[in-house]
C-alpha cells in the first residue's frame, strides 16, 4: 500500500510549526505530528480559529503537546512578531502550509498581490526569520506546500504582483511556481547543512480554499463544479499525507516534490513518487532572481 501516517516515526523531542493549522490540511498535519509526540505549534491567522483547532486537537489527541500562536501571512509585521516571540526556541520542522486559492484581486497589508504575498512572500519571510533555529537543529526540514496548478504559469519577474493584468488562476499558479523556485534556491543555499528543503502538493483534496474561492463564483458551472469536488476530492487526511511524508520519512531528497501516489485518490497514500513538475521551477537563474526580489520586498535576508 505504500507509506501511510502509521509510518511516521516517534517525534518526541522534536518541535514543529504548521502554518494555516486552523482547519483542513494544516490541521490534519499538525494533529498527526502531535500524535507522534512532536511539540506542535498551530500558527493561525486568528485567535479564535487557533483556539478552536487546539481544542479539537486535544479532543482527538489528549496527550498532545500543542499550542497556538498568531500568524497572519498577509502582514509582514505579524510574521516578524511571530519570529520575535519564537526567540531561541528549538525548531525542527517548519511546514509552510497556509495559502489562498484563486481569490479576487486584493492586496496584503504591505501592498502585495494577495496570492504572491501570502503563498510566497509570507512564507519566504517566515522561513528566513526562523532559519537559524532550523540550522541549529540536526535533521530539520522545511516543507512548503505548492500545487500541480503551478503548471498554469511561470512567474513574471517584471510583474510579480500581477498588476498589468489580473487573472486569479494565473496569479495562483504563479504563486505556486514561486513556492517551487523558493524551495529550489533554499535547497541550494542549505547544501552542506543538515536541513532539507522540500516541496509537496496535496492533489485534489478537500480544503477551505476550494469551497470558498476555487469554484466558479456564479453561473451554471458552479453547482456541477461543487458536486464534482465533493465526489472526487480526497479527504484532508489524504491531502496532508505528502506533507507528513516529506516532514518525517527518511531519505527525503533536497528540492524534491512529492504528491499523492494517485491524484485525488481517497486512500491517504503519500510516497516518494515525483509528480509532474514544470522545468521552469528548476531554473537556477530565475530562482536566484526571485530570491533577491523577495529579500528586497520583505526586508528579510538570511546570511547563514
Q: How do beta strands 140-145 and 195-200 pair?
A: parallel
- The answer to whether 122 touches 73, Cβ cutoff 8 Å, is yes
Q: Which residues contact 162 (CB under 8 A, 6 or more apart)?
A: 105, 113, 115, 116, 156, 170, 171, 174
In which residue are the cell numbers 504559469 written? 153
- The answer to whether 162 touches 117, Cβ cutoff 8 Å, is no
Question: CA dihedral defined by 66, 36, 98, 273, rounded to 10 degrees?
Answer: 170
Q: In what order do the strands lie in the sheet with 195-200?
A: 66-70, 39-44, 15-19, 93-96, 140-145, 195-200, 257-258
Catalytic residue among 27, 105, 172, 245: 172
Active site residue 172: yes
Q: Which residues contact 127 (CB under 8 A, 6 or more apart)?
A: 94, 96, 142, 186
Burial (CB count within 10 angstroms: exposed 0-12, middle 13-18, buried 19+), residue 79: buried
**Residue numbers annotated as active site:** 172
Amino acid at each position: 500500500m505504500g507509506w501511510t501516517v502509521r509510518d511516521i516515526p516517534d517525534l518526541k523531542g522534536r518541535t514543529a510549526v504548521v502554518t494555516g493549522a486552523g482547519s483542513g490540511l494544516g490541521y490534519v498535519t499538525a494533529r498527526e505530528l502531535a500524535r507522534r509526540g512532536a511539540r506542535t505549534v498551530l500558527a493561525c491567522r486568528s485567535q479564535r480559529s487557533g483556539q478552536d483547532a487546539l481544542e479539537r486537537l486535544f479532543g482527538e489527541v489528549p496527550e498532545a503537546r500543542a499550542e497556538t500562536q498568531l500568524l497572519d501571512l498577509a502582514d509582514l509585521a505579524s510574521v516578524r512578531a511571530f519570529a520575535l516571540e519564537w526567540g531561541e526556541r528549538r525548531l525542527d520542522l517548519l511546514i509552510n502550509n497556509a495559502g489562498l486559492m484563486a481569490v479576487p484581486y486584493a492586496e496584503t497589508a504591505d501592498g502585495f498581490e494577495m496570492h504572491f504575498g501570502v503563498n510566497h512572500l509570507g512564507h519566504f519571510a517566515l522561513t528566513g526569520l526562523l532559519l537559524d533555529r532550523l540550522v541549529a537543529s540536526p535533521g530539520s526540514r522545511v516543507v512548503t506546500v505548492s500545487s500541480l496548478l503551478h503548471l498554469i504559469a511561470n512567474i513574471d519577474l517584471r510583474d510579480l504582483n500581477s498588476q498589468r493584468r489580473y487573472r486569479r488562476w494565473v496569479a495562483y499558479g504563479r504563486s505556486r511556481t514561486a513556492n517551487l523556485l523558493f524551495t529550489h534556491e533554499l535547497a541550494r543555499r542549505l547544501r552542506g547543512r543538515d536541513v532539507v528543503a522540500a516541496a509537496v502538493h496535496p492533489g485534489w483534496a478537500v480544503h477551505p480554499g476550494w469551497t470558498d474561492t476555487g469554484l466558479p463564483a456564479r453561473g451554471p458551472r458552479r453547482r456541477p463544479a461543487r458536486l464534482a469536488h465533493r465526489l472526487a476530492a480526497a479527504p484532508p487526511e489524504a491531502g496532508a499525507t505528502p506533507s507528513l511524508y516529506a516532514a518525517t520519512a527518511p531519505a527525503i531528497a533536497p528540492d524534491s516534490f512529492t504528491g499523492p501516489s494517485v491524484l485525488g485518490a481517497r486512500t491517504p497514500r503519500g510516497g516518494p513518487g515525483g509528480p509532474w513538475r514544470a522545468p521552469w521551477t528548476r531554473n537556477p537563474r530565475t530562482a536566484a532572481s526571485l530570491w533577491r526580489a523577495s529579500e528586497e520586498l520583505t526586508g528579510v535576508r538570511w546570511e547563514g
